Amino acid sequence: MPIIAIASPSDWQRVQKLRLAALQDTPDAFGSTFEDESQRPPEWWIGRLQSSGSVTFMAVEPCDSGMAVLGPYNAPPDRGVFAVWVAPEHRGRGVGDALMSAVIAEARSLGVGRLVLDVDRLNLPARRLYLRYDFSPTGIESTLPPPRSHIMEDQLELILEVARLTP
């Protein structure tokens, strides 16, 4: 089973490497581009990892093989799932499942009421992953920014049961 860790600012180079690999591997799955993010200075990457509003997860064992981000989405209690990616040579080995389990567990621990994500209509492996975790379509559609505005995305949501303490 892959081991998932929360990235700290000192992990910025590892996160940068994963993110740039993701943008090169599946550029149509992300709102940002390799060209934009490869030009970002170290301070930008460190700042992302210092943000109190986001948590970056990395699959770290047996090697850095994937990532996912839990971050702000519209208004609380909603949070978004972003930047989910697994290296091609590690797909089908449980990395995506381990990342999603970690994201959902963290969201629950933070008292998040709803997780939201956007996924390309044609990205069937990602859609299957999210559906396995009971994400469901909201009916909201969007496109990526130009020059990829031809890519249609569907919004999916997962309503979380917030644990309530009883007196």
User: 124-146 pLDDT, tens per residue?
Assistant: 999 999 999 999 999 999 998 88
Question: Residue for token digits 């971050």?
Answer: 71
Which element (helix H / strand E) includes 35?
A: helix 34-37
Q: What is the per-residue pLDDT for 167?
A: 55
What DSSP state is assigned to residue 74? S
Does 105 have pLDDT greater than 90?
A: yes
Q: Are 151 and 134 in contact (CB under 8 A)?
A: no
Q: What is the per-residue pLDDT for 147?
A: 79
Question: Any residues with CB less than 8 A from the CB of 43 and at least 6 apart, and which?
Answer: none
Which range is most confident: 24-33, 126-135, 145-154? 126-135
Does 9 have pLDDT greater than 70?
A: yes
Residue 135 within a domain: no
Residue 10 within a domain: yes
CATH of the domain at 106: 3.40.630.30
Mean pLDDT of 4-14: 97
Residue 163's pLDDT band (cuts 50, 70, 90)? low
Residue 128 within a domain: no
Residue 152 within a domain: no
User: Structural domain tally of the chain?
Assistant: 1
Residue 12 within a domain: yes
Q: What is the per-residue pLDDT for 148?
A: 84
User: pLDDT higher for 161 or 40?
Assistant: 40
Q: What is the pLDDT of the chain when averaged over all its residues?
A: 93
Owning domain of residue 32: 3-117
What pTM did the predictor assign? Answer: 0.92
User: 39-57 pLDDT, tens per residue?
Assistant: 999 999 999 999 888 999 9
Residue 95 within a domain: yes
In this prediction, what percent of the chain has a pLDDT beyond 70?
96
Residue 125 within a domain: no
Residue 127 within a domain: no
Residue 162's pLDDT band (cuts 50, 70, 90)? low
